[in-house]
Structure 1
Amino acid sequence: MGHERHDTRHHVSSGSPLEPEIGFSRAVRKGAYIAVAGTAPIGDDGTTVGHGDMYAQTVRCLDIAERALNDAGASIEDVVRTRVMLTDIDRWKEAARAHGERFASVRPACTFVEVSRFIDPAWLVEVEIDAVVD
């Protein structure tokens, strides 16, 4: 007989109005693997946090992503990869400071990459996270 699969798919929502419009989830857990979608610096009121402040926007992205991880049954310690997308790679150290504060003891594989722009021109950064729960 074949293997029975017990890996259920669990979707995590942040309540963003873009989720149903685009057809995505803030995070998806399948078995031990969790993927957190590109996370923008959006405040609880739906507006951009930290206009012009790369560090503050990165902190906000990480806060949202960490909440999604927690909602999916994971923690920062389970993170194995991060992707930090910036509209200005010359400002990478500002984003790196926020990333380093959050992941100093975890040290996931990490990529910083420059992109031309995001959906909202006020966003300077988005963050993606992959985690594996033991």
Structure 2
Amino acid sequence: MTVQLLDVPGLAPTAPYAYAATAAAGHRPVQLAGACPLDADGRTVAPGDVAAQTARCLDNLVTALDAAGAALTDVLGTRVLVATTDRRDLHTAWDVVEARFAEHAVPSTLLGVTVLGYPDQLVEIEAWAAVP
């Protein structure tokens, strides 16, 4: 296994993700640009829909991982950015991320931000991975 997820004694057991992750020796790091909810023509998909934009970000993230010879199970961590002041939007985005990663509950940071780079963009997902 390339990535080992670690539960950390002494930290709250209620977090729906691992607190740390390591990669086996000899694996190369993969840094991914923030995955945006853009279609193949560069248009923002699903304006106003946090869940749909999160799903598209994850689709694009998987495509970039594949190009690097990696998969979601090779991801060491993520940062999920949601342009909102409403905590419910954060939970909506997180539910989509958590479902897609399933058993590979990587360390993650979930942030509400003021604005993202593309018109109508509500979500962006950064990731780090390791591959043999």
User: Is the structural similarity TM-score above 0.5?
Assistant: yes
- State how 1:34-49 maps to structure 2 within 5 Å: 34-49=30-45
State the structure with bigger RCO (CA 8 A, min sep 6), 1 or 2.
2
Match of 1:77 among 55, 58, 73: 73
Residue type matched to 1:118 in 2?
Answer: L
How many corresponding residue pairs? 104
SS at match of 1:50: coil
- AA at the equivalent of 1:76: L
Residue of structure 2 equivalent to 1:127: 125
RMSD of equivalent CA atoms:
1.3
Long gaps (5+) in structure 2: 1-26
The percentage of counterpart residues that share the same residue type is: 38
1:32 corresponds to? 28
1:121 shift after superposition: 3.6
How is 1:53-68 mapped onto 2 (pairs within 5 angstroms)? 53-68=49-64
2:13 corresponds in structure 1 to none
TM-score, L = length of structure 1: 0.73
CA positional deviation for 1:97? 1.4
* Map of 2:93 onto structure 1: 95
